[in-house]
Amino acid sequence: MGFNPFGQLGELKKMRDQAMKVQKELQAEELTVEKNGVEVVISGDQKIKELNSNGKSDKDIKEAINEAVKKSQEVAAQKLSQMSGGLGGLLGQ
């Protein structure tokens, strides 16, 4: 029995389905970050949901947003690493 391209297509579909599931989970996840008196609510897929600057400077706002984006990236990386198999199975590793 030789190479079966349809087997790999099945694996690709499975990975795509897992990725879409993770994306939906990230969209539903919300993180709240408070830094320098600025509060940022960001979704796991890095969309700013709420920003309360409380009259703070642009620098303080920028730092709070950067911190929120960093935390959302960490959550996304964690969820993606939980995808079973990852690309290793597809690439034969």
DSSP per residue over 27-70, as a string?
Answer: HH-EEEEEETTEEEEEETTS-EEEEE-TT--HHHHHHHHHHHHH
Name the pLDDT band for 5 (thresholds 50, 70, 90). Answer: low
pLDDT band at 4 (very low <50, low <70, confident <90, very high): low
Quote the tokens at residue 48: 């700013």
β-strands 48-52, 38-43 pairing: antiparallel
Work out the average pLDDT over 60-89: 82
Model pTM greater than 0.75?
A: no
Q: pLDDT tens-digit profile of 15-40?
A: 888 888 888 988 899 999 999 999 99
Domain positions in the chain are 30-82
